[in-house]
Structure 1
Amino acid sequence: MKLFVGIDVSSEKLDTCFLDSEDQILLETSLPNNVVGASKIKEHIIQFTENIHYERIIVGMEATSVYSFHPSTFLAEDAELKSLGIEVAVINPKAIHRFKGLFEEDKTDKIDAYRIADFLRFGRFNTSLIKEEKYMALQRLTRSRYQLIGQLTEMKQHFLENLYYECNTLTKEIDTSIFGATMMDLLTDSMTLEDIANMSLEDLAAILQEKGRGRFSNPQKLAKSLSKAIRDSYRLGKVMQDSVDVVLASYAMMIKTIKKQIKELDKAIQQLLEILPESKSLLSIPGVGPVYAAGIIAEIGQIERFENEAKVAKYAGLYWKRKQSGNFESERTTITKTGNHYLRYYLIEAANSVMRNEPVYREYYLKKYHEVPKHQHKRALVLTARKFVRMVDVLLRNHQLYAPERSV
């Protein structure tokens, strides 16, 4: 006899169904999503085991963002439940949704909890290890950094849009970054563009050298390009000019703030990486730095959660469904992209960097690049990322450092 506990998790409730292997509902209850509710589920499990010896006890719930984290961790790490051999499965919601679609019935939390327990009863799922706290802590940092990078990109785009109103030829004329500290300070300073345009090239070059702390190799050339860009641009009316100045100053302040926060996150990520021994394995790969290594480790967690490298690739969405019928085998298949998009992002970006540093991966990328006439770069890069997964899996599973392949 087996015991299956299906939990429909929401921000406030834990709707729970206790089901045995003979499809008999032992108990249905709704509990609060807090320590009290999770403790009550634990009590019910222990009570059921007092009367019947269950050869297997499985608790399952959907991976509902942050809501499933606390109950799954609580039940998986409880000492009394561990002694009973409890298994906790956090299941992909799409799998549960497809299973529910087989039945013509209403959609309620009570029914959902029963169907989760029923899904567990069929045994078509994998009980993966719950991530340890250090990996979850790293994941909070890396995902927050990922989101801040997205916000920073958006802020820079808005800044450039508004800058075009003021000086539409600036980005074409100068050969340095608009978002460097010197240029941002100059464009949002108390001086107007007219003041800069009317300034002598010697004075402007001196200001650039002062603000840039002597980092510009040719400040005179930059001053000339900047002055020319301002002179060649359209002029705004005073009302429009004042509005654009306010907007540019606001975006400049937000960009500066986000950059500062990213630096703080980088420090915290670096400190946490130092206590994770597997980080040395990934950092030994040419082209993989702390950001990519932290992102990959945070999303994978313990590599033992996955049976093999194919499961890691599928979890990341680097997976192509096979299409076969009779004697027909399709050669054109699309990538699923249904996995962990954070892990997929870090694997693809890391593979792109490794490809530029490792001849073997560069050769593989070029081979795949020239196989098709369309979408060459995207296809070749994704296939290179799939190859990269194999290396990541081997290094993490064997706790070894990277050694480049020897040419024969």
Structure 2
Amino acid sequence: MEKTDPLPLDAYLIADFARVGRTKKCEPWRGSQFLALKRLTRHRLHLAECITREKTHMVSNLYLKFSELQLLDDGSQPFSNIYGTTASAVLTEFMSLQDIIDTPEEELLQFLAKKSRNRITDISRTSNLLKKAARDSYRLDKCMYEPLNVSLASSFNCIQTYHKEIKLMDQAIERCINGMNPNAFTILKSIPGICPVGFRNDC
């Protein structure tokens, strides 16, 4: 109801509502539910910022370990996502770039197929691009590879954990919104581009 009344009517309205429910326009106050949703969305933002911060932190380690991956354009890049599962396996399970170069072609193909779960369309091309990138990258002293691998593995683990937590947070946010107003929630989801947690291109 309007809150710009010139007279102090609030007390009368509350009394009427409490006695006989006369104020029909009033609805149950759901401020606590909005506060709960606010907590969830802010924590989701915190998790997303943690992922961004971790990726920014590991850029220098990625460049030291495999410099060419940071320089290639999309057409020459062996991985669609340098922070994905397959790239993570290559960067952490091969101790050095020379190990990638020296790995037999068939063995490398099997490795990529296994780590990508056969999702790579042209695995031979990916293998060739990977070996070429390894040959074109800077070389480091041998004592550097183990510390870099440990650091990269830790960063990848952190990113993976944050992604899992974001999925759980998305589920909690969806439950919270659905409990507030199911009809409005259904209407919002019917709009292309709007998902339970926000805006996405694949909705």
| Structures share fold, TM-score greater than 0.5 | yes
Q: Compared with structure 1, are the counterparts of its residues 271 and 224 closer, same or farther at alpha carbon in structure 2 (3 Å cutoff)?
A: same
Residue equivalent to 1:164: 63
130-139 vs 218-227, greater mean Cα deviation: 130-139
CA distance, structure 1, for counterparts of residue 152 and residue 161 of structure 2 = 14
Relative distance call for 1:156 and 1:181 in structure 2 (3 A) is: same
Q: What number of residue pairs does the alignment pair up? A: 179
Equivalent residue runs for 1:88-167 within 5 Å: 132-167=31-66
Q: What are the within-5 Å matches in structure 2 for residues 118-267 of structure 1?
A: 132-171=31-70, 172=72, 173-189=77-93, 191-267=95-171
Aligned with 2:87: secondary structure? helix
What residue number does 2:195 align with? 289
Deviations 1:279-318 (A, max 9, x none): 12221211111111xxxxxxxxxxxxxxxxxxxxxxxxxx
CA contact (8 A) 1:202 1:220 kept: no
Whole-angstrom distance in 2 between the partners of 1:175 and 1:230: 13
Aligned-partner SS, 1:285: coil
TM-score (norm 1): 0.40
Q: Hey, what's the Cα distance between the residues in 1 that align with 2:34 and 2:190? A: 20
Give CA deviations for 1:84-133 in whole Å, capped at 9, x if unaligned. Answer: 99xxxxxxxxxxxxxxxxxxxxxxxxxxxxxxxxxxxxxxxxxxx97522
- Which structure's residues are more often helix, by fraction? 2
Structure 1 84/242 Cα, relative in aligned 2: closer, same or farther at 3 Å?
Answer: farther
Larger radius of gyration: 1
| 8 Å Cα contact 1:188/1:252 also seen in 2 | no
Structure-to-structure mapping, 1:9-408, within 5 angstroms: 55=8, 82-83=14-15, 132-171=31-70, 172=72, 173-189=77-93, 191-275=95-179, 276-277=181-182, 278-292=184-198, 350=199
Conserved in 2, the CA contact under 8 Å of 1:196 and 1:227? yes
Q: Does the 8 A contact of 2:188 with 2:194 survive in 1? A: yes
Per the TM alignment, residue 190 of structure 1 is displaced from its structure 2 partner at its CA by 5.7
Letter in 2 for 1:184: S
Which stretch of the first structure deviates more once superposed, 227-236 or 155-164? Answer: 155-164
Separation of aligned partners in 2, 1:241 and 1:184: 15
Over the residues paired in the alignment, what is the CA RMSD in angstroms? 2.9
Q: Which has the higher strand share?
A: 1
Measured after TM superposition, the shift of residue 199 of structure 1 is 0.8
The amino acid that maps onto 1:132 is G
**Percent of aligned positions that are identical:** 34
Provide TM-score, normalisation by structure 2: 0.76
Partners in 2 of 1:273 and 1:55 — Cα distance?
Answer: 34
C-alpha offsets along residues 310-332 of structure 1, whole Å, 9 cap, x if unaligned?
Answer: xxxxxxxxxxxxxxxxxxxxxxx
**Aligned-partner Cα distance in 1 for 2:89–2:191:** 38
What stretches of structure 2 of length at least 5 have no aligned partner? 1-6, 18-27
Q: 1:225 to 1:190 in 2, by over 3 A?
A: closer
Structure 1 runs not aligned, ≥5 long:
1-53, 59-81, 86-128, 293-349, 358-408
Q: Which amino acid aligns with 1:218?
A: D
Q: Which runs of 4+ in 1 moved over 4 A?
A: 82-85
Residue 137 of structure 1 aligns to which amino acid in structure 2? A
